[in-house]
Chain A
């Protein structure tokens, strides 16, 4: 039956949107369920469009990461104690990458992945006329169109729709953060888990919880109407009911994979699992990252029911004051980020000390960071930095072409640190080029989907900025 569906679909353009157009299903006012293809068709579509079963995990560094302090251009004489009196980190304290760029010492946990070629360090990523507003900036990075600050639909959402990824599994996309990020917002809502330890109904009797869940599912499924939020409300409630049992089966509370070398918990989420000794403020991030990782692991090669896109965020990067140097607020955030990314590398490659013995999915996984902007290249008067333009990104994974991009003697001309208005790092690569490379070369999106996902990509010639950061071999 699945095969038949697949053959039938081979004649269509394999875009869910065009599929819907072809069926004439354009009525509004009906429940969402009737708008979407049946599960079997969904499954077939997803198989067509993500044949390698690839996975993507994103970490949004909200607040604006100081790229100059994370990936330090030591080869540029403008990076000095004059421009950054209290922030400056001498080369001897940092981790040299290529004789020009260094990692902040707090990123030491990423060093091994850099050495093995699994880490790409991208500098000067941004977009034309970068917004200095957090809120416009985040929206632009998430909606994928710098010309439409009021577009409340994510580029990653459009990818799921164009490539039917959302159709392949009951839990294709999962985020673990306060609320569903704009990156994944659209007509449809995916699962978001803000409180991993409390994602379930509260009655003592599981049978009774199931009754509430079943009855509410029925109520939400029938919920139609002209009210503007009704379709998404209906779909969210159904999605919730359909996810609870699956999530429960992961038993995340009792999953505690360890670093095989240090014996430390890879995800410090409590005093008991915090052998590494981070501040308790970091627990929320690690609890979220743990769910994101677990959701991908539960989606192994056999179980086609799991998650292909997972994501979370790390807040607190808006360091106008008290940013710190080798120690301090920024150093802490970088340390958590690096530890977390390295934990992903260990656990997703099957290398963790973990009785569950999940198989490696590392060759099919890419982890990337993003942040709405970088910060002023000159320190401000409060031992901090203000909003600026281009910043850095980290890509980690089995398909990544490791190395340093846009931060070496050849590509970093003099004066670039103050390239815009004398205080902002000039962007070299458009963020859309980075993400489209990830979607096309890692997530195997068809080339024709590019302008639907990133409007204007082709006409703006953004392909010319692509860096070759994902291996296509």
Chain B
């Protein structure tokens, strides 16, 4: 097929009204710049672009550039071979009212695949958090995209004290004493928190430093007496499995809350140490079994490969073995209060007794440590020689500090983590220039938390122009967890984080804290698209819309429509569908998709037209939640 070059198809008649009239005279001023005539009353412009192949298939032009201050936009006049584009522009008034995209030859207003502002707001709510709800929709409308992201980067500035929907539910699981409580907390926090980015970042770091609840629980089960065995006192019933579950859960919970804090108030070196010294990790990757003369490489390898440098980060098998020796001697014990960070002191011998109170913490056992010298990254600029400590065995605990310093400071670490954050929030395939920009921020020692300042690194990620590039909207796939939380948020849903949610997360292969593989769950979309995942996501929407707001699990589409002033009396199907198109897709449905939803609303199961009722409205929302593009973000 030959390359077509189409430009400035839409020539415009001028009219004067507010919002701005149709924008006219699109043309290329040079091969790279599209320009148009300034429109009276317009303080900004949007550009929409239609792909000819898409247009032929019924997909209208979509937002291509937003909030342009001047009547021009840099975009190549000649598209790639085989492609052809149509452009049009609209003006925006000082009151943020957008003008018309113009009218076709039949005098009908031209269709767009959503308007720039709502599409981008929807997009930012998907990426920064877990999708749109009423609070966040208001907030982003008030603050704008940049202001909203800025506020989210300062979670302490967002008041949660009045957020009863969140606080009442979190209180149900405080403290979490089983893995189900942990999962439920994740769900209700993602669903109801105003601090959406804080929760996203917490999920990110918890998944990055993934640990598996079951493995730790098996070890804790062994640490606490099994009450079924003969000769064990009756009081033991309180210890097993309750206490072992509580302690297992506690190790993951404390680690997660430390990640939550450091994500906005710390640096990578600190968060790396939290993971390295977390009992959850020490048990998960066999650190407790790694002793002098009989090293276990499990954690050593993953520390380099998964948690810091990345598999292509330049470390060698020798580094894995040397690091395993560095890590020998670290295990866990229950420590007296205020001794948690002490490497050696403070272990409670009779840890199963209720007193003294204590916390399971990392514990360095000098005789189990390989005290001879080690070298990391030998022969590279990052080479680190860790001296022999055999004369003063307790000093061997410091090996870990030296090694973590070198690992956190390794240039491969900044690149690997920056890339992964960009993949999480911006694009599955970040360009090198984006990574460079985030790495530069990472390396800025002047940031409040110094090199690797996690908040400033995250800010660099979220201020990449690509995050709000309209061409990249819906370029990622929601994880199953994000998917159902976004469904719940969009429909004013009710959830305790357990009913229906737990079985969904099991079936969709995305149960937090319960992933046996140290990589954590995949950040790329390709890993989450398959027949089972699509089916489970659709089923969840059907369930969610089948139950009402009075149920433990359900949604409130009727309440939302009422509050939006949309009549649910018969004969209003287009307005009802348009409302849900806005809420679920930022208005970006094709005319055919919109019509399909209207038809769904207006017909019975067998296709017979009949007036809709509440049940039909609910089912139509469930149907729209199952659209393919709701899996995208």
**Interface positions of A (Cβ within 8 A of B):** 24, 26-31, 131-136, 149, 152, 178-180, 185, 189, 191-195, 198-203, 205, 207-208, 211-212, 215-216, 218-220, 222-230, 232-234, 236-237, 239-240, 243, 315-316, 318, 320-321, 380-382, 384, 386-387, 421
Contacts and interface: CB of A to CB of B under 8 A. Distances in A.
Of A28, A149, A236, A421, chain B has the most CB atoms within 10 Å of the CB of A236
B531 A240 contact: yes
Contacts of A387: 297, 301
Nearest to B535: A240
A207 B605 contact: yes
5 contacts: A29-B53, A185-B526, A227-B629, A228-B475, A382-B286
A132 B315 CA distance: 12
A229 to B, nearest CB: 5
Contacts of A31: 57
A201 B540 CA distance: 10
A136 B311 contact: yes
Contacts of B536: 195
Contact of A211 (B301, B477, B605): B605
B534 A227 contact: no
Interface string B456-477: 0000000000000001011111
Contacts of A386: 296-298, 301
Interface in B480-524: 507-509, 516-517, 519
Contacts of B471: 226
B293 interface: yes
B628 A228 contact: no
Given A133-B305, A208-B605, A320-B298, A226 B51 contact: yes
A222 B593 contact: yes
* Chain A binding surface SS class: loop
Interface in B19-71: 51, 53-54, 57-59
B241 interface: no
A320 B286 contact: yes
A114 B474 CA distance: 53
Given A198-B507, A381-B291, A227 B632 contact: yes
B82 interface: yes
Contacts of A232: 526, 529
Interface residues of B, number: 70
A321 B628 CA distance: 43
B627 interface: yes
A29 B526 contact: no
Contacts of A223: 627-629
A194 B605 contact: no
Given A179-B509, A194-B509, A233 B628 contact: yes
Of A192, A208, A230, A386, chain B has the most CB atoms within 10 Å of the CB of A386
Interface in B618-632: 623, 626-629, 631-632
Contacts of B301: 132-133, 386-387
Given A30-B57, A316-B516, A386-B298, A178 B534 contact: no
The 8 closest A-B pairs by CB, nearest first: A381-B294, A382-B289, A194-B532, A320-B298, A178-B509, A192-B530, A240-B531, A180-B530
Contacts of A237: 534, 628
A224 B291 contact: no
A23 B437 CA distance: 44
Contacts of A133: 301, 305, 311
Nearest to B542: A202
Contacts of A230: 628, 632
Contacts of B53: 27, 29-30, 224
Contact of A132 (B286, B293, B317, B519): B317
Contact of A236 (B473, B534, B592): B534
Contacts of B312: 149
A93 B539 CA distance: 51
B142 interface: no
B51 A207 contact: no
A232 B525 CA distance: 10
A195 B596 contact: no
A135 B519 contact: yes
Given A219-B596, A316-B516, A224 B527 contact: no
A155 B264 CA distance: 43
Contact of A320 (B1, B296, B605, B626): B296
B528 interface: yes
Contact of A202 (B531, B543, B623): B543
B428 interface: yes
A229 B82 contact: no
B412 interface: no
A215 B596 contact: yes
Nearest to A386: B297
A28 B79 CA distance: 13
A202 B317 CA distance: 50
Given A149-B311, A228-B428, A381-B289, A28 B295 contact: no
Given A179-B509, A224-B57, A382 B535 contact: no
Interface in B583-600: 590, 592-593, 596, 600
B278 interface: no
A384 B291 CA distance: 13
A179 to B, nearest CB: 5
A217 to B, nearest CB: 11
A422 to B, nearest CB: 11
A212 B294 contact: no
Contacts of A28: 82
A189 B527 CA distance: 11
Nearest to B49: A226
Contacts of B535: 199-201, 240
Contacts of B290: 381-382
Contacts of A179: 509, 527-528, 530, 532-533
A203 B529 contact: no
Nearest to B524: A152
Contacts of B530: 179-180, 189, 192, 194, 236
A201 B82 CA distance: 40
B320 interface: yes
Contacts of A180: 529-530
Contact of A207 (B285, B527, B606): B606
B410 interface: no
B477 A229 contact: yes
A199 B532 contact: yes
Given A222-B592, A382-B289, A216 B538 contact: yes
Of B289, B290, B509, chain A has the most CB atoms within 10 Å of the CB of B289
B289 A321 contact: yes
Given A320-B285, A386-B298, A387-B301, 9 more contacts: A179-B528, A180-B530, A200-B535, A222-B57, A223-B628, A224-B53, A316-B516, A381-B291, A387-B297
Of B301, B311, B509, B596, chain A has the most CB atoms within 10 Å of the CB of B311
